[in-house]
Amino acid sequence: MAQHIGGLYHWSSTQIGWMFTLFVIFESVGTLPGGILRDKFGPRNVMIVAGLIGGLGIYATSLGPDYAMVLVLWCIGSFFAGFIYNAAVTTANKWFPDKRGLTAGLIAGAFSWGSLPFIFPIRAISKTAPDSVFFHVIYLMAAIIGGVSIIAAFFMKDPPAGWRPADWVPKAATKRPSEHQFTLKEALSTWQMWVLVISFILISSAGLAGVSKIVKYSNSFHFAAAAATAAAGGIAIANGIGRVVLGAMSERIGRENAMIASYVLTGVFLFLTMAAGAAHSEYMFVVCAILAIFFWGPLFSLFPTVIGHYYGDVAAGSNYGLLYAVAKGSGGLYGGVLSAILIKQHGYQFSVGVAAVMAIVAGLLIIPLKGNAPVAKKVAAYKAREAAAE
């Protein structure tokens, strides 16, 4: 899509790159106010407004070639896309405390799979095709994204306060370490939240650098176009499946263990894509790229799951919104602009190597959280110190 837009409007690759980066940043930042508003007013009204404006953000790409105008409308739509994501994930978190990982994985997977109906038709558009063909795809995307969000809003509401499934007895892996419902301020007072933020920044940076540049990364090895297309399509599928699989596995092996394994394996397979390129093996490259994203994608099911697990449901939208806004927004800077600078100065191999190290470190950072989840008595001690200081 980006290549078609650039070609139609004669925008530079830098201008297109900024659209990707600003989408990540504004969508990420939007999750915080979106979470605060959905916690206060419920998900329905938030989703209706966000669906309408989010769809208009996609439609704005057909209004070029005025880059400034399109970029402003694009950023506004991206901001409200964060509202949609937060409302969907945290509503499921509230309704399914017994299956946080699975439901978060299914919803996060749906956000990934949503690109599938458009990847192959867009790539199949001939360079000689009339502009109207591409614009029809944009109109369709805007209508689907906005329309589905608005329709879904009418089926969304929060459960009653303190709601739990009947006869549910939490297992060790799913039992909350504290029954306290943490406010946003209380969550920020725990060191565990900041470990999660740093880990999220690193793992999101690692994946965004690879996801957004997989086609050009493949082309840098002079692989056939089919390899790049297979990698792009396979990534969209594996990205969603990984979110469901690792989210469900976290119910059995524990939240922290799932995160450690997922992020470390992301780094391992990113290193193996480098080896595949050096060996000129298209098949190995495609397989390793897909597996890297399979293990990267679960961050979008595991982080909201662990936020609900650690901090409760009442302020889940606010707590996850803050984590997502700070961490993924920062990750978007590396995945978009900074990685492009590294590629220009040192090449794709160096940039992907940095991303692989980031992913592995993100996993290792989770190790201290095992057996050290935040509990209410620590927050009470913090409040007492705060009151004494005043």
φ, ψ at 201 (rounded to 5°): -60, -45
Closest to 231 (Cα-Cα) out of 212, 246, 247: 212
pLDDT (mean) for 32-39: 93
pTM, to two decimals: 0.80
Query: Structural domain tally of the chain?
Result: 1
DSSP label at 158? P
pLDDT mean over 365-388: 73
Residue 171 domain-assigned (yes or no): no
CA atoms within 13 Å, Cβ hemisphere of 318: 19
Range of the domain at 228: 2-159+178-389
Residue with tokens 């704005």: 60
The token duo for 30 is: 């939007």
Asked whether residue 121 carries a pLDDT value surpassing 80, the answer given is no
In a domain, 333, yes or no: yes
**Cα–chain-centroid distance for residue 325?**
10
Q: How far apart, in Å, are the Cα atoms of 286 and each of 65, 218, 252, 268?
A: 35, 9, 30, 15
What are the tens digits of pLDDT across the range 132-157? 777 888 888 899 889 999 999 999 99
173 is a domain residue? no
Q: Is 308 contained in some domain? A: yes
Give the CATH number of the domain where residue 39 resides: 1.20.1250.20
Give the DSSP H/E element, type plus range, for residue 300: helix 299-311
Average pLDDT over residues 334-352: 77
* Residue 312 resides in a domain: yes
Q: Is residue 259 part of a domain?
A: yes
Average pLDDT over all residues of the chain? 85
Give the pair of three-digit tokens for residue 352.
Answer: 């992907």
Percent of residues, the chain, with pLDDT higher than 90: 41
Is residue 172 included in any domain, yes or no?
no
pLDDT of residue 319: 93
Contact 345, 242 (CB under 8 A): no
Rounded CA-CA distance 329/30 in Å is: 10
181-222: pLDDT as tens digits: 999 999 999 999 999 999 999 999 888 777 667 777 777 777
CA distance 278 to 273: 9
